[in-house]
Structure 1
Amino acid sequence: MKPASKPVRLVFAALLLVAGVFALYARTAQHAFVSIDVSEYLLDNQHVQHGLTWKDVGWAWTAKSASNWHPLTWMSHMLDVSLFGLSKADRSFGVGLFGFGEAGHNLVNAAWHALNAVLVFALFLRLTGYYGRSLFVAACFAFHPQHVESVAWIAERKDVLAAAFGLASLLAWERWARAGSRTGYGLSFVLLALGLCAKPMLVTWPFVLLLLDAWPFERAGRARGGWGRLVVEKLPFFGLSAASAALTWWAQSSGGAVQSLELIPLEWRLLNVVRSYGLYLWHTVWPVDLIVHYPHPGPTIALRDVALAAIVVGGIGFVAFLQRKRAPWLLVGWCFYLGTLVPVIGLVQVGGQALADRYSYLPLLGVFLVVAYAAAELAARAPLAKRLLAPVAVLLVLAQFAVAWEQVGKWKDSFTLGSEVVRVEPQSSWGWNLIGRQQLEAGLFDYAAQNLARSVEVQPGDPNAWHMYGKALFNTGELPGAENAFRRALALTPENPAYLTHLGEAVLTQGRVQESEPYLRRAIELDPSYPGARSNFGRWLLSTGDFDGAEREFRAAIELKPGFTPARNQLARLLMRRGDHAGALREIEIVLGVSPNEADLHRGRARCLMALGREAEAASELEAVVKQFPAWLPGQGDLVWLLASASDPRLRDVPRAVQVGERALATAQGERPPGLLDALALSYAQAGRFADAVAAAKAAGRRAEELGDPGQAERIAKRVAAYEAQRVDLSVPR
């Protein structure tokens, strides 16, 4: 170990690392949350949505949501919500202390990564005393493109959080190993416990401590009892790891994340283990075409790749063993790389990926250590290499930064990320799913359906792909196709509340009220805290005439998730039917705060304003919505009705009402909405053209009956009778 560097050099290195990390990741402040896992961790998690509260902190310690036990990660997300709000799009839970939304969450990830880079520098400097080598390892850690996934993906907060406590635990252990500090021992134990509460990746840490005993501490020869005593002193740490492993198995098994041996047999797993060790190394050396999901090859795994990986990995290991006395850093660094990947290498298969860049966040430290020491040894033997060492190291770090910069941009949103996945892996169901989800959220339903169809075509055994495809078809109005997709999803994963409630919704929307009931009821039984299930069951109750029950379910859904717009929308419609237009207006305005560009909401707001006698505001609302959506016939019909019936003579404009109505009908391309025909009939009657009014109103009534709305047809019939008597009756509700 070399003498410690001067404080000014240490501060300079730390500031350089922090500045570099924020230069690389600052633009994530402009990034949206990608849709992978963000619902479970943030947007739809009612415990996280409330921010940091004692009640939800208690939940965090017993939760197995997201198929993980990581209470500290949950609390970290809760704290972010308290500070920054949930997202800029959803203010229903408040804006937090600072109101930065997604930007705050993403920059906190970057801050943890910056802290980790400084901890890596401090740790390696304490372990080895070499300033230059330690700074190089820390810079590689800070800027390597493989680490972008752990930082730019908000659902991977657990990665950067666990790493911080894991690295700090090793720093504390150094004080125990070298100076016998009991405080260091206790602090190392506590920090490891906290790290395991963030992510179980640190279960290998007791073995890492044994590696450090071999080098650089070289304690085996000095400790009484040799390796036996060194193992005994770490038994409490092994106990922590065992407890964490048990809790993780409980959470992942309960969540259905662990893949069975029938689905991915042991021989496929073993072949993929060897291949993955090689691929992680290759991605370290040549970080090109990095994607968020590398599909498991299964039976199509190339034995050529496995053999090549075995030769490289085995060859390095063989050389490291032969050189263990002359170059112990090689064996320790290599064992660190191999060993810390064991929990995620795929022997216990979680999910359908072959490997993941995020899994290499800590293991690559072993590779960086080997590169730093190998380069230094070469420089010590060759004068030319010594002169080139520093500039080559700088160029290597800058190259990593440049590639990482490009990689960060790929995490801009789900569409960009998914497009990169399918560029590299055209047969990736994940990639097509990501693209389709983004389009679904943006209201591009036809495009979403096309891309999600590719997803199920590529991976027909993926229930989530069928579910998302069904949602896209439902929003395009292709209800039988949506129903079939939801049934396919449910066949693959029975008893899933989301699949059940969306199947029930599709069946209900097709008018099969009684058939939809079992699906909707079962969804609530499985998860009474699922807002979608409560809202859709409310729709079912509404269809049976149980207005009180429907209102109760809608309000329950809103209480669970105040920003859940479908429930507020349904509640607003129910309140309008009950004549509570003030209450309906409140709900609509809340929804408009989240979805300001939905024409139907503006139409509902205008109707409430009209019912409340605020005709001028209603007119402004309708004029704006018709201007924004000129082809939207329901809005045109409401504007015609208001122009023909306004009690304020300054707003009533019968000639314009006739003009707007006739023009809208002429451009309707054969579509004859009953609401528009009814409004046009009123404008004719107000203009004294009662024969035209009768004809238009009768056409409206027939169309309402064809569409299965006898209530509307009955109301129109009353107006027909008035027009036939050469009078206008505005007392009949619309």
Structure 2
Amino acid sequence: MIRRASSPRERRLAAALSIVLVAAVLAVFAGVGGHEYLAYDDDEAITGNAGLSQGLSSDGVAWAFRTTLVANWIPVTVLSLLADQELHGLSARFVLIENVALHALATLLLFFAFRRLTGTLWRSAAVAAVFAIHPLHVESVAWAAMRKDVLSGVFFAATLLAYARAVERPSLLRHGWVSASLAAGLLSKPTLVTTPFVLLLLDFWPLGRLAGDDGRFDPKRGGRALLEKLPLFALAAASSIATLFAQRSAGAVVAANRLALGQRIANAIVASADYLATSVWPAGLAVFYPAEVDGWGISRVAISAAVLLAITALCIVERRRRPWLLVGWLWFLGMLVPTLGLVQVGSQARADRYTYLPLIGLSILPIWTLAEIASRRPTLRRPLAVTSLVALVALGSVAHRQVGYWRDGATLFARARDVTRDNALTRSFLAEALLAAGRHGEAADEMRAALRLRPDYLEMKNNLAWVLATNPEIPLADPGEPFRLAVGAVEATGGRNPQTLYTLARVFERDGRFAEAERTARRAANLARSLGAEAFALEIEAKADELRGRTPDPKSGARRSEPGAAQGGSSLP
């Protein structure tokens, strides 16, 4: 049951530890104020989201509950961004600083909640410290679009604290605060759907609400604990339905033929083991880990499953003597479930941000186990304390370095390229960031690398052809490369995509084939207009008018990219 320490000395120590926790967050994340928005979700969620310009007007608030943000219905997160629009016009500096402030608040609430739930001071502070500075949490804080993560962290910790108070002195109002906190959390990020199960785990330990006087499970008490959480399960179910609907509407749920169920289960097993490994040894972290579409090797899946099953078995065996092992482990696995890709969303195998709340449970295992060892062998207290402090400092140091990789897109995706393999999507985002920085030759090299990994990457074929066509200063080892890429993109789209046709027109222009360029551009403009893309059609027509009547400069020589190519694009679809 809950124990509340109230001595003045302990209250002063708790206040001092709170200050230290906030200082640790600030020390690790101090650099984010100089970071930029990324062309990866930040553009869709913030910089390119016209609805945010409404601010906290009545129309803006109503819109927050109607819209989705990056394929998620998360109105509380949208409201926070609308407030940012009112305060500072969505400056990247202040949006990221607010992420840090929210993370610090979540850290404090977590400390208060654990102290109330467990009656411990140093162990609760240790759990909060791991949450505050673990390198896996950098992604959730240093990425502006992940406002939903830090907001959900605040409301999750508030739910735990409200639940501790409700258990301590039950009342309708106090249970109402639990429901309200969870509802706000679900409206910030729907992965909190497993929170009611976490509360049941806390009923088992440390609250001891499920056992009878003999220490064994009491079905009546268990039934009451489950019954009181029915409103929370109802909230979680409603959130799950809304989330699946929003993601299907946005096309974020991958078709069943992309990853079969067996592959998704295998990926979930491997991802869980990888999360465990990077929690213990956070090296080689990246913004994107590609899913293995061809499937994981049987040995990798078998080893991962064996590790997970062995830990689970150990926790079950020790559930009476060391109940925190089972609670922390099931907390970790249970809160990962919504993110493991059993319903595949996107093409990632895993993501660091998905550990934001599950890692709290995992941190319980070593912290309470070390405390038990120290209590049994007092001579080890000082060495264990020093070792724990060194480990925390090491985590903070790695996290601080990880924060630096998030300063801009080129740095972030270059890092991801370097620490992952066969990562075509990361190379495409790196190319985009390099283009934005004016580093066109390097961008073209990354695009070529992406195409070597995925020869069927249609968008990359078109993009590389465009870059080579519009940046003639890029040297070409193969003069026919832009033409082959552009024709391949046009053929792959059946000649029904105005963008690929326009790219081909620009390739013709690069090679001095202006008549062919004009004809192809007008064809692209007509197609764009038929598809309702009037602004794009006007842009293409302006280029076609510019090309009319132009002739190659005889001093420059002809640069025909494909000798013997069909004239006027007549052989194209």
Which TM-score applies when normalising by structure 1?
A: 0.67
Equivalent residue, structure 2, for 1:511: 518
- Map Cα deviations across residues 90-118 of structure 1 (whole Å, 9 max, x no partner): xxxxxxxxxxx221111111111111111
Equivalent residue, structure 2, for 1:295: 290
Q: Which amino acid aligns with 2:161?
A: L
Q: Which amino acid aligns with 1:171?
A: L
Is structure 2 residue 86 aligned with structure 1 residue 82? yes
Measure the CA separation in 2 of the matches of 1:232 and 1:669: 85
Q: Which amino acid aligns with 1:415?
A: A
Report the alpha carbon displacement of residue 459 of structure 1 after superposing the two structures with TM: 2.6
Measure the CA separation in 2 of the matches of 1:381 and 1:209: 29
Measure the CA separation in 1 of the matches of 2:112 and 2:554: 71
Is structure 2 residue 521 aligned with structure 1 residue 521? no
Q: Which amino acid aligns with 1:122?
A: F
Kindly tell me: are residues 146 and 187 of structure 1, through their superposed partners in 2, closer, same or farther at Cα, counting changes over 3 Å?
Answer: same
Equivalent residue, structure 1, for 2:265: 270
**Does the aligned pair in 1 maintain the 2:140–2:147 contact within 8 Å?**
yes
Report the alpha carbon displacement of residue 163 of structure 1 after superposing the two structures with TM: 1.4
**Does the aligned pair in 1 maintain the 2:461–2:486 contact within 8 Å?**
no
Kindly tell me: are residues 113 and 65 of structure 1, through their superposed partners in 2, closer, same or farther at Cα, counting changes over 3 Å?
Answer: closer
Measure the CA separation in 2 of the matches of 1:217 and 1:522: 66
Measure the CA separation in 2 of the matches of 1:263 and 1:468: 24
Equivalent residue, structure 2, for 1:393: 388
Report the alpha carbon displacement of residue 131 of structure 1 after superposing the two structures with TM: 0.5
Measure the CA separation in 1 of the matches of 2:357 and 2:290: 22
**Does the aligned pair in 1 maintain the 2:464–2:482 contact within 8 Å?**
no
SS in 2 for 1:298: coil
Measure the CA separation in 2 of the matches of 1:446 and 1:490: 27
Q: Report 1:25-64 matches (<5 A).
A: 25-64=29-68
Which TM-score applies when normalising by structure 2?
A: 0.85
**Does the aligned pair in 2 maintain the 1:196–1:202 contact within 8 Å?**
yes
Report the alpha carbon displacement of residue 468 of structure 1 after superposing the two structures with TM: 4.3
- Map Cα deviations across residues 26-71 of structure 1 (whole Å, 9 max, x no partner): 1111111222111111121111244333323322212234211111
Report the alpha carbon displacement of residue 167 of structure 1 after superposing the two structures with TM: 1.4
Measure the CA separation in 1 of the matches of 2:248 and 2:491: 23
Equivalent residue, structure 2, for 1:352: 347
Report the alpha carbon displacement of residue 483 of structure 1 after superposing the two structures with TM: 4.3
Is structure 2 residue 363 aligned with structure 1 residue 368? yes
1:433 to 399, 406, 428: 428
Q: Which amino acid aligns with 1:13?
A: L
- Map Cα deviations across residues 467-509 of structure 1 (whole Å, 9 max, x no partner): 6435534532697567447547858xx99xxxx5633643676
- Map Cα deviations across residues 136-179 of structure 1 (whole Å, 9 max, x no partner): 11111111111111111111111111111111112111122221
Is structure 2 residue 139 aligned with structure 1 residue 134? no
1:377 to 372, 375, 399: 372
SS in 1 for 2:518: coil
Is structure 2 residue 158 aligned with structure 1 residue 168? yes
Equivalent residue, structure 2, for 1:187: 177
Kindly tell me: are residues 195 and 474 of structure 1, through their superposed partners in 2, closer, same or farther at Cα, counting changes over 3 Å?
Answer: farther
Is structure 2 residue 304 aligned with structure 1 residue 309? yes
**Does the aligned pair in 2 maintain the 1:109–1:152 contact within 8 Å?**
yes
Kindly tell me: are residues 4 and 261 of structure 1, through their superposed partners in 2, closer, same or farther at Cα, counting changes over 3 Å?
Answer: same
Q: Report 1:230-269 matches (<5 A).
A: 230-269=225-264
**Does the aligned pair in 2 maintain the 1:71–1:198 contact within 8 Å?**
yes
Measure the CA separation in 2 of the matches of 1:384 and 1:486: 70
Kindly tell me: are residues 467 and 390 of structure 1, through their superposed partners in 2, closer, same or farther at Cα, counting changes over 3 Å?
Answer: farther
Q: Which moved more, 1:444-453 or 1:249-258?
A: 444-453
Kindly tell me: are residues 21 and 220 of structure 1, through their superposed partners in 2, closer, same or farther at Cα, counting changes over 3 Å?
Answer: same
**Does the aligned pair in 2 maintain the 1:152–1:408 contact within 8 Å?**
yes
Equivalent residue, structure 2, for 1:457: 452
Measure the CA separation in 2 of the matches of 1:485 and 1:210: 57
Kindly tell me: are residues 486 and 183 of structure 1, through their superposed partners in 2, closer, same or farther at Cα, counting changes over 3 Å?
Answer: farther
Q: Which amino acid aligns with 1:413?
A: D
SS in 1 for 2:349: strand
Q: Which amino acid aligns with 1:173?
A: Y
- Map Cα deviations across residues 188-243 of structure 1 (whole Å, 9 max, x no partner): 11111111111111011111121112112222246893322222221111111111
SS in 1 for 2:24: helix
2:104 to 95, 114, 120: 114
Is structure 2 residue 234 aligned with structure 1 residue 227? no
Report the alpha carbon displacement of residue 541 of structure 1 after superposing the two structures with TM: 6.2
Is structure 2 residue 331 aligned with structure 1 residue 324? no
Kindly tell me: are residues 457 and 519 of structure 1, through their superposed partners in 2, closer, same or farther at Cα, counting changes over 3 Å?
Answer: farther
**Does the aligned pair in 2 maintain the 1:333–1:367 contact within 8 Å?**
yes
Q: Which amino acid aligns with 1:153?
A: W
**Does the aligned pair in 1 maintain the 2:33–2:93 contact within 8 Å?**
yes
2:16 to 9, 12, 19: 12
Report the alpha carbon displacement of residue 542 of structure 1 after superposing the two structures with TM: 5.4
SS in 1 for 2:344: coil
Report the alpha carbon displacement of residue 669 of structure 1 after superposing the two structures with TM: 12
Report the alpha carbon displacement of residue 339 of structure 1 after superposing the two structures with TM: 0.4
Equivalent residue, structure 1, for 2:511: none
> Which structure has the greater CA radius of gyration?
1
Report the alpha carbon displacement of residue 447 of structure 1 after superposing the two structures with TM: 2.6
Report the alpha carbon displacement of residue 376 of structure 1 after superposing the two structures with TM: 0.6
Measure the CA separation in 2 of the matches of 1:233 and 1:105: 38
Equivalent residue, structure 2, for 1:536: 536
Kindly tell me: are residues 448 and 398 of structure 1, through their superposed partners in 2, closer, same or farther at Cα, counting changes over 3 Å?
Answer: same
Kindly tell me: are residues 456 and 51 of structure 1, through their superposed partners in 2, closer, same or farther at Cα, counting changes over 3 Å?
Answer: farther
Kindly tell me: are residues 206 and 305 of structure 1, through their superposed partners in 2, closer, same or farther at Cα, counting changes over 3 Å?
Answer: same
- Map Cα deviations across residues 410-457 of structure 1 (whole Å, 9 max, x no partner): 112111111111211242112211221111112333332221222232
Measure the CA separation in 2 of the matches of 1:488 and 1:106: 44
Q: Report 1:188-203 matches (<5 A).
A: 188-203=178-193
Equivalent residue, structure 2, for 1:152: 142
State the structure with bigger RCO (CA 8 A, min sep 6), 1 or 2.
2
Measure the CA separation in 2 of the matches of 1:243 and 1:488: 45
**Does the aligned pair in 2 maintain the 1:193–1:240 contact within 8 Å?**
yes
Q: Which amino acid aligns with 2:377?
A: A
Measure the CA separation in 1 of the matches of 2:4 and 2:539: 73
Output the aligned Cα RMSD: 2.7
Q: Which moved more, 1:160-169 or 1:43-52?
A: 43-52
Equivalent residue, structure 2, for 1:204: 194
SS in 1 for 2:330: helix
Report the alpha carbon displacement of residue 522 of structure 1 after superposing the two structures with TM: 5.3
Q: Which moved more, 1:147-156 or 1:424-433?
A: 424-433
SS in 2 for 1:341: helix
**Does the aligned pair in 2 maintain the 1:507–1:515 contact within 8 Å?**
no
Q: Which amino acid aligns with 1:520?
A: A
Gap regions ≥5 residues in structure 2: 213-217, 473-480, 507-516, 547-552, 558-573
Measure the CA separation in 2 of the matches of 1:407 and 1:67: 27
SS in 2 for 1:185: helix
Kindly tell me: are residues 429 and 319 of structure 1, through their superposed partners in 2, closer, same or farther at Cα, counting changes over 3 Å?
Answer: same
Gap regions ≥5 residues in structure 1: 87-100, 525-532, 546-569, 571-667, 673-734
Report the alpha carbon displacement of residue 398 of structure 1 after superposing the two structures with TM: 0.3
Equivalent residue, structure 2, for 1:178: 168
Q: Which amino acid aligns with 2:18?
A: A
**Does the aligned pair in 1 maintain the 2:290–2:347 contact within 8 Å?**
yes
Kindly tell me: are residues 175 and 9 of structure 1, through their superposed partners in 2, closer, same or farther at Cα, counting changes over 3 Å?
Answer: same
Report the alpha carbon displacement of residue 76 of structure 1 after superposing the two structures with TM: 1.7
Q: Which amino acid aligns with 1:392?
A: T
